Amino acid sequence: MNTKLTLRMDEDLVRRAKAEASRRGKSVSQMVSEFVDSLGSPRRDEKKLPPITASLVGVLKGHRVSESAYKKHLREKYL
């Protein structure tokens, strides 16, 4: 069952929302509905990771890796 919802937004934001909805071939209502629906569910992108990439998610949690350390590693590896 669909229920009507009235939102109050700045005119410029409404204009940009309508333009974006048109670009995507959707209504502003569809975009808002999809956004709100995404707030309560896990990110869809994370579900579609390749198996190897998915297995690496979180392996560096708790470790600080600086850009300079990474560059040093690359120099040592390839020079």
Q: What is the pLDDT of residues 9-68, one digit of tens each?
A: 999 999 999 999 999 999 999 999 999 988 876 665 556 788 898 888 888 888 888 999
CA distance 60 to 6: 44
Q: Which helix (H) or strand (E) holds 12?
A: helix 11-24
Amino acid (1-letter code) at residue 53? T
The whole-number pLDDT of residue 46 equals 53
* Helix, coil or strand: residue 23: helix
